[in-house]
Amino acid sequence: MPVKKRPVSPRQKMINLMYVVLMAMLALNVSSDVLNGFSLVSKGLETTTKNASAVNAGIYNDFEEQMKANPKKVKEWYDKAQVVRQMSDSLFNFSEELKVLIVRESDGDDADVQNIQNREDLEAATSVMLAPGSGRGKKLYQAINSYRERIIKMVTDSAQRRIIASNLNTEVPQSVRTLGKNWQEYMFESMPTAAAVTLLTKLQSDVRYAEGEVLHGLASNIGVKDIRVNELNAYVIPNSQTVVQGGKFSAQILMAAVDTTNRPTIYIGGRKIESERGIYEMVCSRTGDFNLVGYIEMMNAQGELVRREFQQKYTVVAPSATVSADLMNVLYAGYDNPMSVSVPGVATNQLQVSMSGGALTPKGEGKYIARPTQVGGEAVITVAAKTEGRLQEMGKFTFRVRKLPDPTAFIAYADGQGGENRFKGGKLQKQILMNAGGLGAAVDDGLLNIPFRVQGFETVFYDNMGNAIPEVSNSASFTDRQKSMFRSLARGKRFFITRIRAIGPDGVERTLDGAMDVTIN
């Protein structure tokens, strides 16, 4: 239900009456003792303002909650409420600033608005509000007019519009206008400090009142604290639209919105379903696609029988799972093989996956790393799924375990665009060879890209007599002697790189077959 408006209390009516009487007495130039009464009026207005602010804050909080719950429905009214808050706070805070300035002008820098010492001071308000060039009165006059015009446009009730317009009126009474005073002069010229502060406090109270009226109207558009529906439909909410053979199909059938004191009657296939909370279950013994068809009946608030039909498709599948090696249909021993595991209709966080013949490490979202240990053996991955509160095995998958293939050796060098090229044999420019640091090796066949670490190699050169001159390196780098031999090679000369030893991620060192034939270009 919309937030109800609070009637004006007798206490507030008394405060308003005192305010009018005291202003009249001030106009008659009554003794300054009467100014003490302004403090009482001001405190009463402050209490009323504080209460209105608390009510308004509650409505703003309701808007925040409803915005989170249903932004599509609430956003238009939420945005308008934020505009109301911004412009109301602006005028309220400006009034508070003026109160502080007037009291400081009267009592000094240590002045306290709640405890005014020179209440009868007739110069402070005049100085702050009407001083040539720096007076704030005209700015306040313009701010009130702007606020009144904008806020009234947001009020739908004509009576409330008149009240707000009267509270925020800036017209000078006809009897005073003949003296040539404008609004700010009429309100603040030779006005005692206590009276000026009370006037501004009343303005703050009027602002919070106007703000509250607009918020009540905006809240009624969405029914804050009572989200109402404008459409009544039947819904079927299944736990899952895919059911494993032998499992249960479970669904909640309801009519939105749900009334716990008036449960609907459910019919499926013409048969009434006895279920207090609208839960329907049946054992699925056959695989295939099925359609749950029925209708709901319930009485509305007018005593009329409302009927809504529904249908829900679902699929029953045989137990199955999918396990695939991301690289190929074998696993390599001693290597981190990426794997993907999934079961149709089952979330990945409901799967239990294990492996024999190696270690299996989950990497999140159905991804795993399989690391088998024994070359030539088999690795078996078993997949189970949690369905209907129990663990059901979905399948076993066997993979052959192989040794990592031998890598290919290469000389790495930079191309013209800053990328890396790999020379694996043939013609090579001498300058590229001289700038190369040594050998690399990797399994790089377009599918696998597994780096190896070169442990050593041998270069074989031939002199003019055809004699072989071998040079050995016990690391991946060319030795100084090898580089010296490169430097002496003329165009068209060739040499060989052989007996390349490399070790892979499986920790196995191997000597590569064949030799790299290099011809200086």
Long-range contacts of 28-36 (CB under 8 A, 24+ apart): 32/119, 32/120, 32/192, 35/119, 35/120, 35/192, 35/194, 35/195, 36/119, 36/194
Nearest CA among 176, 193, 180 for reference residue 128: 193
Q: How far apart are CA 516 and CA 325, in angstroms?
A: 33
- Give residue for tokens 């895919």: 242
Block residue for tokens 């699925």? 284
Any idea which fold 408-520 has? Immunoglobulin-like (2.60.40)
**Measured between alpha carbons, how far is 5 from 212 in angstroms, rounded to an integer?**
9
Parse the chain into domains and list their residue ranges.
Answer: 10-222, 233-317, 322-402, 408-520
Each residue's pLDDT tens digit, 367-422: 999 999 888 889 999 999 887 778 888 888 999 999 888 999 999 988 777 778 89
User: Which structure tokens are listed for 465?
Assistant: 């007599």
Strand 330-332 with 390-402, pairing: parallel
Neighbours of 199 (CB within 10 A): 22
**What pLDDT is recorded for position 122?**
87
Looking at residue 32, its pLDDT comes to 52
Tokens, residue 337: 């093989």
Residues of the chain where predicted confidence (pLDDT) is lower than 50: 1-3, 27-31, 178, 224-230, 301
Pick the CATH number of 322-402 from 2.60.40.10, 3.90.1150.10, 3.40.190.290, 3.40.630.10: 2.60.40.10
Q: What is the reported pTM?
A: 0.42
Q: Six-digit token pair at 504?
A: 């892979």
Tokens of 421: 């090229």
Q: What is the pLDDT of residue 227?
A: 36
Using CA atoms, how far apart are residues 457 and 495, in angstroms rounded to an integer? 13
Q: Which tokens go with 445?
A: 């066949």
Three-class SS of residue 99? helix
Contact between 226 and 2 under an 8 Å Cβ cutoff? The reply is yes
Q: Retrieve residue 150's tokens.
A: 């904008």
The continuous run of DSSP H or E covering 66 comes out as: helix 35-69
Amino acid at 335: Y
Find, among 143, 198, 195, the residue nearest to 168 by Cα: 143
Closest by CA to 139, choosing from 151, 130, 148, 152, is 130
Fold for the domain defined by 233-317: Immunoglobulin-like (2.60.40)
Q: Which value, in Å, is the radius of gyration of the alpha carbons in the chain?
A: 44
For residues 295 and 310, give the distance between their C-alpha atoms in angstroms, rounded to a whole number. 6
Counts for the chain of helices (H) and strands (E), in that order: 11, 25
b vs e for 235-248, b when ≥16 Cβ sit within 10 Å of the residue's Cβ? Answer: bbebebebbbeebe
58 torsion bin: left (phi>0), alpha (psi -120 to 50), beta (else)? alpha
Distance CA 186, CA 148 (A): 19
Residues near 89 by beta carbon (within 8 Å), at least 6 away in sequence: none
Q: 311 Cβ partners below 8 Å, 6+ apart?
A: 236, 291, 292, 293, 294
* Topology agreement, domain 233-317 and domain 408-520: yes
